[in-house]
Structure 1
């Protein structure tokens, strides 16, 4: 039996409106994450830009106002890597951008925030982007190389100045992996940093990441850099024992682990960050004869 044309048209319009609503909702989900980032960055004078590297186009927010001063560079965490324990996200852009929230509180004249590959970035400009780069390959050598290339581009804007690296969660691992490749790093600070992914993955009974580098394996290469690794006392995702394991591997002359009361992994660390940032990483004097 044939359906009247008017009925067909009505059903078509309903279906079209439904499809458009789904598209709008999906678009808003992405827009909201970008809008949230802009709302954090704007008041701090951090301007969004795209950074071309060999492997990825990375998104950054930066404020360079005095070329004769050091550079504070923040690295984001893993973002929305997983929807559930077994289902990866299709877009790792963070909902809260906790690394950006830290950067936004930093009063230094030169502050840069680097998102991770495929976060906040137009996928059409990143044909390499895919689930592996925010799951098993999130610390892969090509990821580290891309992030390090971006650091070099920003370091070139403050010629001869030192770089202070700050990493949140998985960004803490990248801060270490990048520092191990550079000679201009003045300090490392990590916040809830995943500094031993093999240990953390065993702790949560999830798959290992053989295609990724593990920060703790590079501890000896950053042992002479002043560093502080902050952990939340209530963090069950990356517990304080992870930071202590890294300090044990790096040695206590320049590395220090500090546990912050009443904070969990996804707490608003930015509220406490001004006070924590004021704790300056230092190296103790080398004992005589060494």
Structure 2
């Protein structure tokens, strides 16, 4: 299914009309040069799209989780397809040179609706972090982990994918580390600051902070991020009250910019417990 985005001539006047972005083709163009191959993973009740590169069964797996995607077309209009335009989580995964890298799209992203009858608007709005969403993502991680039995996994989440990474990690014993980028680690506070409705039906990552106090973590925030400001990562660190949880503010980064070009360097800073 082709996913098109109309860009107003006011924004890009020299185009003289609508530019078309095929979001699937864009994802393939990001993944291909990095050796990431598109696959489908069947969970209950969703079919998830993934891009994966597994080359060493004796090495850990870095698993990237996408953000919320195009959940809303505007502040008041819900999208009919949450597939992300730019797929920042995938762009980060493509920068990772580890032998085993897997990208997980969120439920209802990239996968055709005919293969995903369980999909519906609540799952990318108020229920985007619902228990059944987290259970499905955890099932997907189970299937990925089975490709390298006994190996640890490193979870990396962008934006809302950061919340999913934390909530999935709280269900597992094989997570070596967590990294989040512009992570929505307290959606109640994020929505309060934005003066929008709370996410009814969703779990909140900050409620799992204490449970993960012994898991090494780094939570990256952009100094210019007005969507998920650095105070959110600070709140999560305070809730964890743990030397294993650190936060880093990246100068000049916004919610959607300043990450791809810096990610290779940021990855060199491993999460660890203590200074």
Task: Name the TM-score, length of structure 2 as normaliser.
Answer: 0.93
Task: Please say if residues 190 and 232 of structure 2, whose CA atoms lie closer than 8 Å, have aligned partners that are also in contact.
Answer: yes
Report the aligned-residue RMSD.
1.2
Q: Render the CA deviation track for 1:140-172: whole Å, top value 9, x for unaligned.
A: 000000000000100010000000000000000
* Pair 1:29 & 2:4 matched: yes
Aligned-partner SS, 1:150: helix
Match of 1:130 in 2: 120
1:192 corresponds to? 182
What is the distance in 2 between the residues matched to 1:28 and 1:209? 26
- Are 2:182 and 1:181 aligned? no
Deviations 1:169-188 (A, max 9, x none): 00000000000000000000
Deviation of 1:209 (Å): 1.4
5+ residue gaps, structure 2, are 6-20
Q: Which deviations, in whole Å up to 9, do the C-alpha atoms of 1:31-79 show, x marking residues without a partner?
A: 7100100000000000000000011000000000000000000000000
Q: Which blocks of at least 5 consecutive residues in structure 1 are unaligned?
A: 1-25, 286-290
Normalized against structure 1, the TM-score is what?
A: 0.88
Cα distance, 1:66–1:262 mapped onto 2, change above 3 Å = same
Tell me whether 1:269 sits opposite 2:265 in the alignment: no
Distance 2:90 2:115 in 1: 22
Contact persistence 1:98–1:268 (CA under 8 A) = no
2:134 aligned to 141, 144, 157, which one? Answer: 144
The corresponding residue for 1:253 is 243
Q: Are 2:221 and 1:231 aligned? A: yes
Q: Displacement of 1:268 after TM fit?
A: 4.2
Shift in Å, 1:28 = 5.4
Q: Is 1:241 the counterpart of 2:262 in the alignment?
A: no
1:55-110 alpha-carbon deviations (Å, 9 max, x no partner): 10000000000000000000000000000001110000000000000000000000
Residue correspondences, number: 260
Greater CA deviation, 99-108 or 260-269? 260-269
Aligned mate of 1:212, from 192, 202, 226:
202
